[in-house]
Amino acid sequence: MFGKKKQPPIKSLIAQGTCIEGNLKFTDGLRIDGEVIGDICAGEGISSILVISESASVTGRIHADHVIINGRVMGPVHASELLELQPKAKIEGDVSYKALEMHQGAVIFGQLRPTSQEMEEKPVLKLAANNI
């Protein structure tokens, strides 16, 4: 409620029973209930949300601000803000995120890499030598 950004509207749908082969670029929100073979990337500079439902399957790279997964993904996932993994999520690939919410039952076969600023390498502090 306080401090949360308003979610962009989901304006596009890839329905169950639909198979798309090729790379996708979208703005605002996209919901996938079918199958996508190719990379999925949100447009730059606009807040985005990608929902991959329980019946969905994606083979390729995923890059969006807010990613919600409850289906199967074969490829790397990058959520520049929030990654939500629902109970039936299955990811085969490396995952990077700023914030992660993972429900019991979700499975990741790959590495988890937080991208938050706290995890970035801090500069080395050097102490002044004592001159006695």
Structural domain boundaries, residue 27 = 10-119
Determine, yes or no, domain membership for 104.
yes
15 class by beta-carbon count within 10 Å (0-12 exposed, 13-18 middle, 19+ buried): exposed
Determine, yes or no, domain membership for 130.
no
pTM reported for the whole predicted model? 0.83
Determine, yes or no, domain membership for 109.
yes
Determine, yes or no, domain membership for 76.
yes
For the chain, counts of helices (H) and of strands (E): 0, 15
Secondary structure class of 117 (helix, strand, coil):
helix
Q: Which residue type occupies 64?
A: A
Q: How many structural domains are present in the chain? A: 1
Give pLDDT tens digits for 6-44: 788 898 999 999 999 999 999 999 999 999 999 999 988
Determine, yes or no, domain membership for 15.
yes
Determine, yes or no, domain membership for 44.
yes
Give pLDDT tens digits for 105-130: 999 999 999 986 554 555 555 555 55
Q: What is the mean pLDDT of the chain?
A: 88
Determine, yes or no, domain membership for 131.
no
Determine, yes or no, domain membership for 33.
yes
